[in-house]
Structure 1
Amino acid sequence: MLLYPGDPVQVLLGGDVVVTGYVDDFTPALSSGAHSIAISGRGKCQDLVDCSHFFNGCQMTNITPLAMAIQLATPYGIDVVSDVGAGEVVPVWQLPWGETPYNILEPVARNSQMLVYENPDGSLRLSQSMRVSAGVRYPVVAEGINIESITMRWSMAQRFSQYIGRSLPMDTMSDMGVGTDVVAVVNDPGVPRLRVRSIIAETGDTSDFQITKARANWEAVRRAGRSTQATVTVDSWRDDAGNLWQPNTLVTLVAPTVHVPRVNWLISEVAYRRDETGTHADLTLMPPEAFAVQPINLFPTMRDIVAGAAKGGG
């Protein structure tokens, strides 16, 4: 049976669904001594990324990220689930005609520290990156057990020793350095020399610069997390409990030969392969901090007024 562009498709590994969506491309090819057929596609949530929203109106009021996701996804036949509740109520949000559901939803979800991604069954998921919990045993990725190859990368290229959150001073000729315009200072002890990055407060930040402070902390945490990455090939699509390796799940990485004695990191990407050498999974691993959600200023003007109206207006 052939699959053609637009056909629904579901990909399974054993009895586990990994993708539910539609065929994008059908590419048959013929050359001397060879005939091949290639099919590529994406999950159902591609319609939330590609298409314009189909909501009956251009504004939502007193809406949570979960409720917004449901209203945006339902016209495209996509279910929505949340691991982290409904999220923070947003007093009002504009929906420009032509904008995609994902671009509308993502900043509102980010305001509630939510990640937005697709489940294997094609549903839209609101979640958070997993955090390490004391006493919990995670699937093991270890040399001498299931690692076939591993490449480690440590980088200092995008890290800074100090992140300084600054308000906008009126005196542009004032002396440089830590002055009255400084609202937050976050240090990264892993950077061995002076490397300073200033975070300028956005118009509409709260009166005590909560967003700027959160941004300075996020810059330090996320950049430190992203500076470390392991690319690992393991000998199976599944962990020792028989579960498929999946993104946004924690594993314990043990690879002392490449200077990783034992860490609990998050899977960011998985590629399942089967070729003449057998079955393999390629995993990209990073510290959980690499996936910290960026703080956002939803209301760049009159934020305090909007927040106060939301509390008082009911």
Structure 2
Amino acid sequence: MDDDLYLSIGNQTISGWTDVRITRGIERLPSDFELGLTELYPGQLDRVVVQPGDECQVMIGSSLVITGYVDRYTPSMDAHSHTIRVAGRGKCQDLVDCAAMWPNGQISGTSALDVSTKLAAHYGITVACDVQNLRPIPQFNLFLGESCYEIIERISRYSSLLVYDTPDGNLTLAQAGTVQAASGFQQGINVQAATVQYSSDQRFSKYTAYTQSVQMYSDIGVAGNVIAVVEDTGVKRPRERVIIAEAVQGFQDLAKQRATWEMNRRIGRAAVVTLTTDSWRDSAGALWTPNTLVSILLPQLKLADESGTGPVTWLIGEVTFQRNMQTGTTATITAMRPEAYLPEPTALQPMFVDGSTIPQ
């Protein structure tokens, strides 16, 4: 299978890159790349025409990886060689870098998909969502100077959605993936190196969540706390954590959601695997893709199922495709339990934070 890397800019396609790094993930926006070419005798690379701001596509063989823009073009030379480096990011960089444009600065009566679509359209980006019947967004105001991404990330958390870009450069709102790769990673088969970080310092035996009105002395304030408690039975000694949920009135189940999310996320992130494999693709020829479930068996690092002999099924959070003269072609994968990627429950509107308390 063709795994050469191609950078397409206008009617020019450049291949033969000697140094490649492409990173995509479900907790990063946008995807980004950095490519390098080296030749011993200056001359050939002069024909490579690249300008910062150029629209581009990065492909591995026939598989599209990033659609975006060139951010930096860096040629250099010395007595022995001539090199160029090209760095860029996906189209969604404009959502991260640029201010949100919204008439009147007030949003109400809509969904995370609708808001994201309207904000992204200003910068020529489309939005897709894999969830139906999204929770309605209560009225809230934008802060002057906020970026599109800051708003989209906030309303997506409220709707329990992850936010990341796709190879075509557009935005996707999604929950933790349920699609599994055709193959996984196994010690002695396709794992060149691996590290698993096990931790307990960020886990607690009991999580107590409170919500309290910040206007408890006003006519509309709520002086009483809403208390929710969840326990992590995997922590054997008393370790307690108190959480102030983001709601301040109404939405009384937010405290329980917030405590449960805190516990599950910390359990999920108590084990993180980072591994290097010798291929950019699974056994079916698909590129390793963020938000895809994958089986992992590393018995020497005590990463296996409860029987100790079978694989665990974790979610790919980030993948970096690399190629250089020192290590050849590799992919570095970061994966955790799916619950590690659950978005944090949040409230958007400080006075009325769920459907039952929004005035009609």
Same fold (TM over 0.5): yes
Q: 1:50, CA displacement in angstroms?
A: 0.6
Name the CA distance, whole Å, in 2 between partners of 1:165 and 1:95.
27
What residue identity is the alignment partner of 1:158?
A: Q
Partner residue, 2:20: none
Partner residue, 2:220: none
Name the CA distance, whole Å, in 2 between partners of 1:190 and 1:32.
61
Q: Using structure 2 for the length normalisation, give the TM-score.
A: 0.77
Cα pair 1:138 1:250 within 8 Å, conserved? no
Aligned length: 296
Pair 107,75 (structure 1): closer, same or farther in 2 beyond 3 Å: same
Partner residue, 1:282: 332
Question: Is residue 247 of structure 2 the alignment partner of residue 183 of structure 1?
Answer: no
Cα pair 2:181 2:282 within 8 Å, conserved? no
Q: 1:182, CA displacement in angstroms?
A: 7.4
Pair 140,202 (structure 1): closer, same or farther in 2 beyond 3 Å: closer
Candidates 206, 216, 227, aligned match of 2:270? 227
Partner residue, 2:302: 259
Gaps of 5+ in 2: 1-47, 214-223, 305-310
Question: Is residue 259 of structure 2 the alignment partner of residue 212 of structure 1?
Answer: no
Partner residue, 2:16: none
What residue identity is the alignment partner of 2:298?
A: A
**Percent identical residues:** 43
Question: Is residue 241 of structure 2 the alignment partner of residue 197 of structure 1?
Answer: yes
Larger RCO of the pair (alpha carbons < 8 Å, separation 6+): 2
What secondary structure, in the 3-state scheme, does the structure 2 residue paired with 1:2 have?
coil
Q: 1:131, CA displacement in angstroms?
A: 4.4
Name the CA distance, whole Å, in 1 between partners of 2:247 and 2:169.
38
Question: Is residue 173 of structure 2 the alignment partner of residue 126 of structure 1?
Answer: yes
Partner residue, 1:299: 349
Name the CA distance, whole Å, in 2 between partners of 1:20 and 1:143.
34
Runs of 4 or more, structure 1, over 6 Å off, are none
Name the CA distance, whole Å, in 1 between partners of 2:66 and 2:349.
36
Pair 167,4 (structure 1): closer, same or farther in 2 beyond 3 Å: closer
Aligned ranges 1:38-57 → 2 under 5 Å: 38-57=85-104
- Aligned Cα root-mean-square deviation (Å): 2.2
Gaps of 5+ in 1: 170-179
Instruction: Identify which range, 154-163 or 83-92, moves more after superposition.
Output: 83-92
What residue identity is the alignment partner of 2:316?
A: I
What secondary structure, in the 3-state scheme, does the structure 1 residue paired with 2:122 have?
helix
Pair 274,211 (structure 1): closer, same or farther in 2 beyond 3 Å: same
Q: 1:55, CA displacement in angstroms?
A: 2.7
What residue identity is the alignment partner of 2:323?
A: R
Cα pair 2:176 2:342 within 8 Å, conserved? yes
CA offsets 1:211-265 (integer angstroms, 9 cap, x no match): 1111111111001111111111111000011100011111000111111122000
Name the CA distance, whole Å, in 1 between partners of 2:205 and 2:185.
32
What residue identity is the alignment partner of 1:260?
A: L
Q: Using structure 1 for the length normalisation, give the TM-score.
A: 0.87
Aligned ranges 1:166-181 → 2 under 5 Å: 166=210
What residue identity is the alignment partner of 2:80?
A: G
Cα pair 1:165 1:198 within 8 Å, conserved? yes
